Amino acid sequence: MKFFVDTAEIDQIKELNDLGMVDGVTTNPSLIAKSGRDILEVTKEICDMVDGPVSAEVVALDAETMLAEGRKLAKIADNIAVKVPLTWAGLQTCKTLSDEGTMVNVTLCFSANQALLAAKAGATFISPFIGRLDDINTDGLELIDDIRTIYDNYGFETQILAASIRSANHMSECAKIGADVATAPPNVIKAMANHVLTDKGLAGFMADVEKAGIKIL
């Protein structure tokens, strides 16, 4: 499973990228606004840093303006994936941009039917939002499973990009289901390394080292 990091913070992306934990980046205007920097400038810097897809989101709601914004964003770098919402206008934009050879990430997906439409429109990525479904007492992971089944049934090449990841458990469950990509904040990716028994074992090991007076340097 590929890891995309869901942030616009350059230092956090660099840290994970240097460790080989970044296969791509997802951003949105809200994330970039938090950085206090220009959206095009930040997006270009991220694209120069990472080799994989960098999702940059349109802000228009109508197809004509979405398309114009998407084409402008696509000019930033070859690894831009234009992010559009899963609306009818978004699907129209997805189809046109995909036909032009631009990667498209269709976002705000909350049903298998929506994911099916995105695949038919040629989406590179479909972004089902796990955490937001969990928030309304619906199993977000079940949606990932449903989409995986449908895409496998018909050989769709659209990649499942699990989004709205809230925990390390979400990450492992998405991997077991077969999501192609999971995008998560840096703290969630780092939390995957944590386990209480690892901490306990290391504490015991260090106590033995100190008791024995072992030194390597």
**Which residues are designated catalytic?**
83
| DSSP letters spanning 127-188 | EEBHHHHHHTT--HHHHHHHHHHHHHHHT---EEEEBS--SHHHHHHHHHHT-SEEEE-HHH
* H/E segment holding residue 119: helix 112-120
Q: What is the CA radius of gyration of the chain?
A: 20
d(CA 95, CA 106) in angstroms, rounded, equals 11
Q: In this structure, are residues 86 and 106 in contact, taking their beta carbons and an 8 Å threshold?
A: yes
Count CA atoms closer than 13 A to 2's CA, side-chain side: 19
> ∠ CA 129-135-140 to the nearest 5 degrees?
40
- Residues 6 or more apart whose Cβ sits within 8 Å of residue 13: 5, 7, 22, 25, 46, 49, 50, 186
